[in-house]
Amino acid sequence: MTDLSGKVALVTGAAGGIGAATAEVLAGYGAKVVIGDIQAEAAQATAERLGSNVSAVAYDASDVDSITSLVDAVVEQHGGLDILHNNAAITAAAWSRDTTLLDTEIDWYDRTMAVNLRSTFVLSKLAVPHMIRRGGGSIVNMASIAAFSGSPTLIAYGISKAGVAALTKYMAVQYGRNNVRTNCIAPGAVLTEQVLANVPGVEEGVLSTLPWIRGGVGKDMGNVVAFLSSKEGEYINGQVITVDGGSTAGVAAPKVELPAEHGVSA
């Protein structure tokens, strides 16, 4: 059984969506969780909703000094750090600005890299020494299936997430001998409130091709983060794990209706 009792976890971008769901899962398994987000009031409200094992710290993922203050606050509050989930990212809000090579503005590309990729690098750089001092730890980065194939839009997002996947492998190789494991989740479409609000018709579109019976939700990712950070997942290192309901396997075939001769008789 997954047990994270005594562990200190930092989840970024956790005022809502996948991050909040992951914080809830980790706290449910006994971890003390700090959620970091630029939305200070929303982060605090989420922490209060999730209970006494969860607290919030406001920070800006695009600012190195702010990231440093976040890690310092976690260590000061709890004495160390065992689990880091690098979840903060520019995602659904970018659909109107992050489009094609020719149409995406360079300043938006730079901001996407700062929030999605550089912040993962900086947070991990700051967290790893604390984990080594504690005897080890688990870092779970957040990529996307957008990292592994092209699409008509979201070029900056896809590039940033490909960088996160590469960073994961470098970190796993460089610090695995210190008992610091680094893995990465590559979600497919996750039907968070933000995605549903910003992408009209997304739920119907996902379900029309997904070879599974429902769309993804935040806790699907949180459960993987918890497993990767637990004793049960300790031999998994340097992996990019696709969590997408089978969307990258192919387009869904029609639902099979078994004829009577395939039934099971008593």
Q: What is the mean pLDDT of each run of 10 residues along the chain (266 residues)?
A: 95 97 98 98 98 97 98 98 97 81 97 98 98 98 96 95 98 98 96 76 86 94 98 98 96 87 62
Domains of the chain, first to last: 8-245 (3.40.50.720)
| Residues annotated as catalytic (active site), given as ranges | 157
Query: Which residues is 183 bridged to in the sheet?
Result: 140
pLDDT for residue 16: 95
Nearest CA to 85 out of 26, 129, 139 is that of 139
pLDDT for residue 95: 72
Q: How far apart are CA 212 and CA 249, in angstroms?
A: 11
The CA–CA distances, whole Å, from 93 to 96, 258, 260 equal 7, 43, 49
pLDDT for residue 93: 61
Q: How far apart are CA 77 and CA 30, in angstroms?
A: 17
Q: Do residues 13 and 19 lie in contact, with contact meaning Cβ atoms separated by under 8 Å?
A: yes
Q: Do residues 243 and 186 lie in contact, with contact meaning Cβ atoms separated by under 8 Å?
A: yes
Beta strands in 87-189 (DSSP E): 137-142, 180-187
